[in-house]
Structure 1
Amino acid sequence: MGTDSATLTDGTDTPDATDPETAGTDSSIADKGSGRTGSTRLPLVLLALVAAAALVAAAVLGAQLRNARGVEDAARAASEAARQFAVTLTSVDSADLDADFAAVLDGATGEFEKMYAESSAQLEQVLIDNQARAEGVVVESGIKSATTTKVEVLLFVDQSVTNTLVPEPRLDRSRVVMTMELVDGRWLASQVDLP
Protein backbone atom coordinates (compact mmCIF):
# COMPACT_ATOMS: atom_id res chain seq x y z
CA MET A 1 0.00 0.00 0.00
CA GLY A 2 2.87 2.39 0.85
CA THR A 3 4.42 1.54 -2.50
CA ASP A 4 1.21 2.35 -4.33
CA SER A 5 0.88 5.76 -2.76
CA ALA A 6 4.54 6.50 -3.58
CA THR A 7 3.87 5.52 -7.18
CA LEU A 8 0.86 7.77 -7.34
CA THR A 9 2.82 10.68 -5.97
CA ASP A 10 5.71 10.10 -8.36
CA GLY A 11 3.43 9.59 -11.35
CA THR A 12 1.44 12.83 -10.99
CA ASP A 13 1.81 15.55 -13.59
CA THR A 14 1.77 18.31 -10.99
CA PRO A 15 5.06 20.20 -11.24
CA ASP A 16 7.12 20.64 -8.16
CA ALA A 17 8.02 24.27 -7.53
CA THR A 18 11.30 23.17 -5.94
CA ASP A 19 12.31 21.04 -8.93
CA PRO A 20 14.79 23.08 -11.03
CA GLU A 21 13.73 21.37 -14.27
CA THR A 22 10.06 22.20 -13.88
CA ALA A 23 10.83 25.72 -12.65
CA GLY A 24 12.87 26.33 -15.78
CA THR A 25 10.00 25.14 -17.94
CA ASP A 26 7.61 27.61 -16.31
CA SER A 27 9.94 30.54 -16.80
CA SER A 28 10.55 29.64 -20.45
CA ILE A 29 6.79 29.55 -21.01
CA ALA A 30 6.52 33.04 -19.46
CA ASP A 31 9.37 34.26 -21.69
CA LYS A 32 7.64 32.93 -24.78
CA GLY A 33 4.44 34.68 -23.75
CA SER A 34 6.21 38.04 -23.36
CA GLY A 35 7.98 37.46 -26.69
CA ARG A 36 4.59 37.17 -28.36
CA THR A 37 3.52 40.52 -26.88
CA GLY A 38 6.63 42.24 -28.30
CA SER A 39 6.09 40.72 -31.73
CA THR A 40 2.45 41.87 -31.65
CA ARG A 41 3.52 45.46 -30.96
CA LEU A 42 5.86 45.59 -33.99
CA PRO A 43 3.06 45.28 -36.61
CA LEU A 44 1.05 47.92 -34.72
CA VAL A 45 4.00 50.34 -34.88
CA LEU A 46 4.43 49.64 -38.60
CA LEU A 47 0.72 50.15 -39.15
CA ALA A 48 0.87 53.49 -37.33
CA LEU A 49 3.86 54.57 -39.45
CA VAL A 50 2.08 53.59 -42.67
CA ALA A 51 -1.04 55.48 -41.56
CA ALA A 52 1.04 58.58 -40.73
CA ALA A 53 2.80 58.40 -44.10
CA ALA A 54 -0.57 58.07 -45.85
CA LEU A 55 -1.87 61.16 -44.02
CA VAL A 56 1.21 63.17 -44.99
CA ALA A 57 0.90 62.02 -48.62
CA ALA A 58 -2.79 62.95 -48.64
CA ALA A 59 -2.01 66.39 -47.19
CA VAL A 60 0.73 67.01 -49.79
CA LEU A 61 -1.52 65.81 -52.62
CA GLY A 62 -4.34 67.99 -51.33
CA ALA A 63 -2.05 71.03 -51.23
CA GLN A 64 -0.85 70.32 -54.77
CA LEU A 65 -4.42 69.97 -56.02
CA ARG A 66 -5.43 73.21 -54.30
CA ASN A 67 -2.41 74.97 -55.83
CA ALA A 68 -3.15 73.56 -59.29
CA ARG A 69 -6.78 74.64 -58.96
CA GLY A 70 -5.63 78.09 -57.82
CA VAL A 71 -3.34 78.44 -60.85
CA GLU A 72 -6.14 77.29 -63.18
CA ASP A 73 -8.54 79.83 -61.68
CA ALA A 74 -5.90 82.58 -61.93
CA ALA A 75 -5.12 81.71 -65.56
CA ARG A 76 -8.81 81.76 -66.46
CA ALA A 77 -9.44 85.12 -64.75
CA ALA A 78 -6.25 86.72 -66.12
CA SER A 79 -7.01 85.47 -69.64
CA GLU A 80 -10.48 87.00 -69.55
CA ALA A 81 -9.06 90.30 -68.24
CA ALA A 82 -6.35 90.24 -70.95
CA ARG A 83 -8.92 89.68 -73.70
CA GLN A 84 -11.00 92.63 -72.48
CA PHE A 85 -7.92 94.82 -72.08
CA ALA A 86 -6.67 93.94 -75.58
CA VAL A 87 -9.96 95.24 -77.01
CA THR A 88 -9.67 98.41 -74.91
CA LEU A 89 -6.04 98.90 -75.97
CA THR A 90 -6.66 98.42 -79.70
CA SER A 91 -9.91 100.38 -79.91
CA VAL A 92 -9.65 104.13 -80.17
CA ASP A 93 -11.78 107.01 -81.43
CA SER A 94 -10.21 110.40 -82.01
CA ALA A 95 -13.53 111.98 -81.01
CA ASP A 96 -13.31 110.49 -77.51
CA LEU A 97 -9.61 110.06 -76.75
CA ASP A 98 -9.76 111.08 -73.08
CA ALA A 99 -12.16 108.24 -72.26
CA ASP A 100 -10.13 105.76 -74.36
CA PHE A 101 -6.83 106.70 -72.72
CA ALA A 102 -8.39 106.64 -69.24
CA ALA A 103 -9.78 103.13 -69.87
CA VAL A 104 -6.35 101.86 -70.93
CA LEU A 105 -4.61 103.41 -67.92
CA ASP A 106 -7.27 101.92 -65.64
CA GLY A 107 -6.34 98.42 -66.83
CA ALA A 108 -2.56 98.93 -66.74
CA THR A 109 0.11 98.79 -64.04
CA GLY A 110 3.87 99.07 -63.57
CA GLU A 111 6.15 99.92 -66.49
CA PHE A 112 3.42 99.56 -69.09
CA GLU A 113 1.19 102.07 -67.31
CA LYS A 114 4.05 104.56 -67.15
CA MET A 115 5.05 104.06 -70.80
CA TYR A 116 1.47 104.34 -72.04
CA ALA A 117 0.84 107.53 -70.05
CA GLU A 118 3.88 109.14 -71.69
CA SER A 119 3.23 107.93 -75.25
CA SER A 120 -0.53 108.64 -75.27
CA ALA A 121 0.12 112.31 -74.58
CA GLN A 122 2.39 112.43 -77.64
CA LEU A 123 -0.04 110.48 -79.85
CA GLU A 124 -3.14 112.45 -78.95
CA GLN A 125 -2.67 115.31 -81.46
CA VAL A 126 -1.64 112.93 -84.27
CA LEU A 127 -4.78 110.84 -83.76
CA ILE A 128 -7.00 113.95 -83.70
CA ASP A 129 -5.37 115.45 -86.81
CA ASN A 130 -5.83 112.21 -88.76
CA GLN A 131 -9.32 111.53 -87.40
CA ALA A 132 -8.13 108.07 -86.51
CA ARG A 133 -10.48 105.34 -85.49
CA ALA A 134 -9.70 101.73 -84.66
CA GLU A 135 -11.64 98.77 -83.37
CA GLY A 136 -9.94 95.69 -81.99
CA VAL A 137 -11.26 92.14 -81.75
CA VAL A 138 -9.54 89.22 -80.04
CA VAL A 139 -9.65 86.27 -82.43
CA GLU A 140 -7.89 83.71 -80.24
CA SER A 141 -5.96 83.55 -76.98
CA GLY A 142 -3.98 81.08 -74.91
CA ILE A 143 -1.93 80.86 -71.72
CA LYS A 144 1.87 80.92 -72.07
CA SER A 145 2.65 80.62 -68.36
CA ALA A 146 0.76 81.06 -65.11
CA THR A 147 1.10 81.37 -61.37
CA THR A 148 -1.55 82.52 -58.91
CA THR A 149 -0.40 86.16 -59.21
CA LYS A 150 1.19 86.48 -62.68
CA VAL A 151 -0.04 85.14 -66.02
CA GLU A 152 1.34 85.51 -69.54
CA VAL A 153 -1.36 85.48 -72.20
CA LEU A 154 -0.84 85.14 -75.95
CA LEU A 155 -3.51 86.92 -77.98
CA PHE A 156 -4.27 87.15 -81.69
CA VAL A 157 -5.93 90.47 -82.37
CA ASP A 158 -7.61 91.83 -85.50
CA GLN A 159 -7.76 95.62 -85.63
CA SER A 160 -9.87 97.52 -88.12
CA VAL A 161 -8.31 100.97 -88.73
CA THR A 162 -9.58 104.06 -90.56
CA ASN A 163 -8.16 107.60 -90.84
CA THR A 164 -8.12 110.52 -93.28
CA LEU A 165 -5.53 108.77 -95.45
CA VAL A 166 -7.29 105.39 -95.36
CA PRO A 167 -11.04 106.07 -95.27
CA GLU A 168 -11.90 102.43 -96.02
CA PRO A 169 -11.30 100.11 -93.06
CA ARG A 170 -7.94 98.32 -93.19
CA LEU A 171 -7.46 95.13 -91.21
CA ASP A 172 -4.28 94.75 -89.19
CA ARG A 173 -3.52 91.41 -87.57
CA SER A 174 -1.29 91.32 -84.52
CA ARG A 175 0.09 88.76 -82.14
CA VAL A 176 0.35 90.17 -78.62
CA VAL A 177 1.95 88.73 -75.49
CA MET A 178 0.41 90.35 -72.45
CA THR A 179 1.68 89.91 -68.89
CA MET A 180 -1.12 90.21 -66.37
CA GLU A 181 -0.46 90.76 -62.67
CA LEU A 182 -2.86 90.48 -59.76
CA VAL A 183 -2.97 93.89 -58.04
CA ASP A 184 -5.45 94.52 -55.21
CA GLY A 185 -7.75 91.79 -56.50
CA ARG A 186 -7.66 92.98 -60.14
CA TRP A 187 -5.76 91.55 -63.11
CA LEU A 188 -3.84 94.41 -64.73
CA ALA A 189 -1.48 94.51 -67.72
CA SER A 190 2.10 95.13 -66.63
CA GLN A 191 3.71 94.40 -69.99
CA VAL A 192 2.52 94.28 -73.60
CA ASP A 193 4.82 92.92 -76.31
CA LEU A 194 4.39 92.48 -80.03
CA PRO A 195 6.78 89.61 -80.80
Structure 2
Amino acid sequence: ETDEFELHSPTLTSTKWWVGGLGKISTHTVVFAQLWLKNDKGELVNHGPHPFLVQVRSQSDYSSLPGITVGDIGPKFGYATVDNGFLRMDKVRIPRNAMLNRFFNVTREGRYVPPPHPRLIYAGMVGVRVYIVNDSFNAIARAVTIAARYSAVRRQFAPLGDKSGAPRELQVLDYGNQQARIVPGIAAAYSLVFVAQRLSEMFSNVMYA
Protein backbone atom coordinates (compact mmCIF):
# COMPACT_ATOMS: atom_id res chain seq x y z
CA GLU A 1 0.00 0.00 0.00
CA THR A 2 2.84 2.41 0.80
CA ASP A 3 5.24 1.02 -1.85
CA GLU A 4 7.66 0.03 0.92
CA PHE A 5 9.28 -3.00 2.50
CA GLU A 6 9.33 -3.52 6.25
CA LEU A 7 12.47 -5.05 7.75
CA HIS A 8 12.08 -6.65 11.15
CA SER A 9 14.39 -8.84 13.23
CA PRO A 10 12.36 -9.72 16.33
CA THR A 11 14.54 -12.54 17.67
CA LEU A 12 18.14 -12.93 18.75
CA THR A 13 18.76 -15.46 15.98
CA SER A 14 17.58 -12.96 13.35
CA THR A 15 20.30 -10.49 14.39
CA LYS A 16 22.88 -9.79 11.69
CA TRP A 17 26.31 -10.64 13.08
CA TRP A 18 29.94 -10.23 11.99
CA VAL A 19 29.11 -7.72 9.24
CA GLY A 20 32.35 -6.19 7.93
CA GLY A 21 32.65 -2.42 8.32
CA LEU A 22 29.37 -2.10 10.21
CA GLY A 23 30.68 -1.78 13.76
CA LYS A 24 31.61 1.91 13.75
CA ILE A 25 31.68 3.65 10.39
CA SER A 26 29.19 2.30 7.83
CA THR A 27 26.14 4.44 7.14
CA HIS A 28 24.58 1.97 4.67
CA THR A 29 24.61 -1.79 4.38
CA VAL A 30 23.20 -4.56 2.20
CA VAL A 31 20.83 -6.71 4.24
CA PHE A 32 19.81 -10.19 3.16
CA ALA A 33 16.31 -10.74 4.53
CA GLN A 34 13.55 -13.29 4.08
CA LEU A 35 11.02 -11.90 1.60
CA TRP A 36 7.41 -12.48 2.72
CA LEU A 37 4.61 -11.49 0.35
CA LYS A 38 0.88 -12.16 0.23
CA ASN A 39 -0.38 -14.38 -2.57
CA ASP A 40 -3.71 -14.11 -4.39
CA LYS A 41 -5.44 -15.77 -1.43
CA GLY A 42 -4.02 -13.27 1.05
CA GLU A 43 -1.65 -15.85 2.55
CA LEU A 44 1.92 -14.94 3.42
CA VAL A 45 4.47 -16.78 1.28
CA ASN A 46 8.22 -16.85 1.94
CA HIS A 47 10.28 -16.33 -1.22
CA GLY A 48 13.63 -16.79 0.51
CA PRO A 49 16.48 -14.36 1.27
CA HIS A 50 16.81 -11.26 -0.91
CA PRO A 51 19.21 -8.28 -0.71
CA PHE A 52 18.11 -4.79 0.31
CA LEU A 53 20.07 -1.55 0.60
CA VAL A 54 19.44 -0.05 4.04
CA GLN A 55 20.67 3.15 5.67
CA VAL A 56 21.54 2.40 9.31
CA ARG A 57 23.31 5.58 10.47
CA SER A 58 23.06 9.31 9.97
CA GLN A 59 25.55 10.62 7.43
CA SER A 60 26.14 13.75 9.52
CA ASP A 61 26.89 12.39 13.01
CA TYR A 62 26.88 8.57 12.51
CA SER A 63 24.13 8.05 15.08
CA SER A 64 21.86 5.07 14.47
CA LEU A 65 18.54 5.78 12.76
CA PRO A 66 15.14 5.10 14.37
CA GLY A 67 14.39 1.40 14.64
CA ILE A 68 18.05 0.48 14.12
CA THR A 69 20.24 -1.14 16.77
CA VAL A 70 23.80 -1.32 15.48
CA GLY A 71 27.24 -1.60 17.06
CA ASP A 72 30.60 -3.33 17.21
CA ILE A 73 30.73 -7.01 18.21
CA GLY A 74 33.92 -6.45 20.21
CA PRO A 75 37.40 -8.02 20.08
CA LYS A 76 38.01 -11.07 17.91
CA PHE A 77 40.91 -13.46 18.36
CA GLY A 78 43.49 -12.52 15.73
CA TYR A 79 41.00 -10.27 13.93
CA ALA A 80 40.54 -7.31 16.25
CA THR A 81 41.56 -4.67 13.69
CA VAL A 82 38.51 -5.34 11.50
CA ASP A 83 35.38 -3.30 12.14
CA ASN A 84 32.80 -6.11 12.42
CA GLY A 85 29.36 -5.22 13.70
CA PHE A 86 25.86 -6.44 14.52
CA LEU A 87 22.47 -5.16 13.35
CA ARG A 88 18.89 -5.49 14.55
CA MET A 89 15.89 -3.77 12.98
CA ASP A 90 12.55 -2.96 14.55
CA LYS A 91 9.97 -2.61 11.76
CA VAL A 92 12.22 -0.40 9.65
CA ARG A 93 10.56 0.78 6.44
CA ILE A 94 12.50 1.23 3.21
CA PRO A 95 11.28 2.14 -0.30
CA ARG A 96 10.51 -0.68 -2.72
CA ASN A 97 13.32 0.43 -5.04
CA ALA A 98 15.83 -0.29 -2.25
CA MET A 99 15.68 -3.96 -3.26
CA LEU A 100 18.73 -4.97 -5.31
CA ASN A 101 16.62 -6.46 -8.07
CA ARG A 102 18.75 -7.11 -11.12
CA PHE A 103 17.48 -10.68 -11.50
CA PHE A 104 14.14 -10.52 -9.63
CA ASN A 105 11.59 -7.93 -8.61
CA VAL A 106 8.46 -7.09 -6.65
CA THR A 107 5.93 -5.06 -8.60
CA ARG A 108 4.02 -2.06 -7.29
CA GLU A 109 1.05 -4.40 -6.82
CA GLY A 110 3.11 -6.74 -4.63
CA ARG A 111 3.57 -9.50 -7.21
CA TYR A 112 6.86 -11.39 -7.07
CA VAL A 113 8.84 -11.76 -10.31
CA PRO A 114 11.31 -14.64 -9.79
CA PRO A 115 14.83 -14.80 -11.27
CA PRO A 116 15.63 -17.00 -14.31
CA HIS A 117 17.45 -19.35 -11.91
CA PRO A 118 17.04 -19.51 -8.10
CA ARG A 119 20.81 -19.53 -7.56
CA LEU A 120 21.05 -15.97 -8.86
CA ILE A 121 19.53 -14.78 -5.58
CA TYR A 122 22.75 -15.82 -3.83
CA ALA A 123 25.03 -14.31 -6.48
CA GLY A 124 26.28 -11.54 -4.20
CA MET A 125 27.35 -13.94 -1.48
CA VAL A 126 28.94 -16.33 -3.99
CA GLY A 127 31.00 -13.47 -5.42
CA VAL A 128 32.38 -12.70 -1.97
CA ARG A 129 33.48 -16.33 -1.59
CA VAL A 130 35.33 -16.11 -4.90
CA TYR A 131 37.14 -13.01 -3.64
CA ILE A 132 38.07 -14.84 -0.42
CA VAL A 133 39.87 -17.53 -2.44
CA ASN A 134 41.76 -14.83 -4.34
CA ASP A 135 42.67 -13.01 -1.13
CA SER A 136 43.88 -16.30 0.37
CA PHE A 137 46.27 -16.72 -2.55
CA ASN A 138 47.62 -13.21 -2.08
CA ALA A 139 48.19 -13.74 1.64
CA ILE A 140 49.95 -17.10 1.38
CA ALA A 141 51.99 -15.97 -1.65
CA ARG A 142 53.35 -12.98 0.25
CA ALA A 143 54.19 -15.12 3.27
CA VAL A 144 56.04 -17.88 1.40
CA THR A 145 57.88 -15.35 -0.79
CA ILE A 146 59.28 -13.62 2.28
CA ALA A 147 60.14 -16.96 3.91
CA ALA A 148 61.84 -18.37 0.80
CA ARG A 149 63.91 -15.24 0.14
CA TYR A 150 65.03 -14.97 3.73
CA SER A 151 65.90 -18.68 3.86
CA ALA A 152 68.03 -18.27 0.74
CA VAL A 153 70.15 -15.42 2.12
CA ARG A 154 70.28 -16.50 5.77
CA ARG A 155 73.20 -18.79 6.59
CA GLN A 156 73.53 -20.79 9.75
CA PHE A 157 75.83 -23.59 11.00
CA ALA A 158 78.73 -25.20 9.14
CA PRO A 159 78.31 -28.66 7.58
CA LEU A 160 78.94 -31.59 9.91
CA GLY A 161 82.45 -32.99 9.62
CA ASP A 162 83.87 -29.83 8.05
CA LYS A 163 87.28 -29.35 9.68
CA SER A 164 88.68 -26.81 7.24
CA GLY A 165 88.02 -23.98 9.64
CA ALA A 166 86.57 -21.82 6.89
CA PRO A 167 83.54 -19.72 7.92
CA ARG A 168 81.32 -21.54 5.45
CA GLU A 169 77.80 -21.76 6.83
CA LEU A 170 74.90 -23.35 4.99
CA GLN A 171 71.92 -21.51 3.58
CA VAL A 172 68.90 -22.18 5.78
CA LEU A 173 67.02 -23.19 2.63
CA ASP A 174 69.42 -26.12 2.18
CA TYR A 175 68.01 -27.84 5.25
CA GLY A 176 65.36 -30.44 4.50
CA ASN A 177 63.18 -29.39 7.41
CA GLN A 178 63.04 -25.84 6.08
CA GLN A 179 62.16 -27.03 2.59
CA ALA A 180 59.43 -29.24 4.03
CA ARG A 181 57.85 -26.14 5.55
CA ILE A 182 58.21 -23.73 2.62
CA VAL A 183 57.68 -25.86 -0.50
CA PRO A 184 54.12 -26.96 0.43
CA GLY A 185 53.24 -23.29 0.95
CA ILE A 186 54.56 -22.40 -2.50
CA ALA A 187 52.57 -25.27 -4.01
CA ALA A 188 49.43 -24.15 -2.17
CA ALA A 189 49.88 -20.59 -3.46
CA TYR A 190 50.09 -21.76 -7.07
CA SER A 191 47.10 -24.05 -6.58
CA LEU A 192 45.01 -21.24 -5.11
CA VAL A 193 45.83 -18.80 -7.91
CA PHE A 194 44.67 -21.28 -10.56
CA VAL A 195 41.55 -22.12 -8.55
CA ALA A 196 40.79 -18.41 -8.04
CA GLN A 197 41.16 -17.70 -11.76
CA ARG A 198 38.87 -20.58 -12.67
CA LEU A 199 36.26 -19.60 -10.09
CA SER A 200 36.32 -15.99 -11.31
CA GLU A 201 35.77 -17.16 -14.89
CA MET A 202 32.87 -19.41 -13.87
CA PHE A 203 31.28 -16.66 -11.78
CA SER A 204 31.61 -14.11 -14.60
CA ASN A 205 30.09 -16.55 -17.10
CA VAL A 206 27.06 -17.02 -14.86
CA MET A 207 26.63 -13.34 -14.00
CA TYR A 208 27.34 -11.65 -17.32
CA ALA A 209 26.52 -14.25 -19.96
What's the TM-score once normalised by structure 1's chain length? 0.28
The structure whose residues are more often helix, as a share, is 1
Larger Rg: 1
